[in-house]
Amino acid sequence: MSKTYDRIYNVVRQIPYGQVATYGQVAELAGLIGKPRLVGYALYRVTADNCVPWHRVINAKGEVSRSPLRNGTDALQQTLLEEEGIRFTQGKLDLGRYRWQPSWAEIAAIAQHWAEDEAAT
């Protein structure tokens, strides 16, 4: 796994049960400002071994991103979110209610993970 993907996965693992983050929000927290598509590419490659709650990342409209390339995982994503108590209305969720707002301590922990990554190289 690349260091970039590891950063993304580390951020996604912090998203609490019953909350979501947008691709752009994850990119920003991973230090990849302006690269939300890179988050999508990384999440497309998640395997069960990665233990990454990929389903908690949605688009900026509050929707599950739909694509024939997802092979049905878009429907699975909405189901998994609904099982966590997230409600959709006409295919959208309320970002004001469900968006993860990390605390300063959580942001500091993510930044510490980056620093450790950089020191290891």
Write the pLDDT tens digit of every residue in 47-61: 878 899 999 999 999
Q: Measured between alpha carbons, how far is residue 53 from residues 25, 39, 108, 121 in Å?
A: 15, 13, 21, 27
Burial state string for 58-93 with b = 16 or more CB within 10 A and e = fewer than 16: beeebbbeeeeeeeebbeebbebbeeeebeeeeeeb
Q: Where are the domains of the chain?
A: 3-115
Q: Is the pLDDT of residue 34 over 80?
A: yes
Read off the pLDDT band of 70 (50, 70, 90): low
Share of the chain above pLDDT 90, in %: 66
Write the pLDDT tens digit of every residue in 81-120: 999 999 999 999 999 999 999 988 888 888 887 777 777 7
Answer yes or no: pTM beyond 0.85: yes
CATH class of residue range 3-115: mainly alpha
